Amino acid sequence: MSRVYLDHNATTPLRAEARDAMLAAMDVVGNPSSVHAEGRAAKMVVERARSQVAGLVGCLPTQVVFTGSATEAAALAVAQKDRHGGRFAALPTEHDCFGDWSEGVPDAMDGPALMAISGANSETGIMQADRRVVAGPSVVCDVTQMVGKVPVEYGDGTPAYMVLSGHKLGGPKGVGALINFTADDPQAILRGGGQEMGRRSGTENVIGIAGFGAAAEAAQQDVEAGKWGRVEKLRNILESALAAASNTTIFVGKDAPRLPNTSCFATPDWKGETQVMQMDLAGFAISAGSACSSGKVKASKVLTAMGLGDVAANAVRVSLGLETTEEDVLRFAEVWAQKLKKHQARAA
Beta bridge pairs of residue 258: 126
Which residue range(s) make up the domain with 127? 16-224
Burial class of 99 by CB neighbour count within 10 A (0 to 12, 13 to 18, 19+) = middle
- The catalytic position among 59, 97, 141, 292 is 292
Could you give the CA distance from residue 174 to residue 343 in angstroms, rounded to a whole number? 39
Identify whether residues 289 and 213 lie together within a single domain. Answer: no
224, 240, 255 - which closes a domain: 224
Could you give the CA distance from residue 269 to residue 303 in angstroms, rounded to a whole number? 16
The answer to whether 164 touches 147, Cβ cutoff 8 Å, is: yes
Identify whether residues 148 and 207 lie together within a single domain. Answer: yes
Identify whether residues 244 and 219 lie together within a single domain. Answer: no
Identify whether residues 247 and 202 lie together within a single domain. Answer: no
The answer to whether 141 touches 158, Cβ cutoff 8 Å, is: no
Could you give the CA distance from residue 171 to residue 169 in angstroms, rounded to a whole number? 6
Q: Structurally, how many domains does the chain consist of?
A: 2
- Is residue 292 annotated as a catalytic residue, yes or no? yes
pLDDT (tens place) for every residue of the chain, 348 residues total: 799 999 999 999 999 999 999 999 999 999 999 999 999 999 999 999 999 999 999 999 999 999 999 999 999 999 999 999 999 999 888 999 998 988 877 665 666 899 999 999 999 999 988 889 999 999 999 999 999 999 999 988 999 999 999 999 999 999 999 999 999 999 999 888 889 999 999 999 999 999 999 999 999 999 999 999 999 999 999 999 999 999 999 999 999 999 999 999 999 999 999 999 999 999 999 998 644 544 555 678 888 878 778 888 999 999 999 999 999 999 999 999 999 999 999 887
Identify whether residues 190 and 253 lie together within a single domain. Answer: no
Phi, psi of 20 (to 5 degrees): -60, -45
The answer to whether 46 touches 209, Cβ cutoff 8 Å, is: yes
Q: Is 251 helix (H, G, I), strand (E, B) or coil?
A: strand
Identify whether residues 206 and 233 lie together within a single domain. Answer: no
Residue 301: which CATH number? 3.90.1150.10
- For 6-32, b/e burial (b = at least 16 CB within 10 A) is bbbbbbbebbebbbebbeebeebebbb
The pTM score is 0.93
Phi, psi of 228 (to 5 degrees): -80, -10
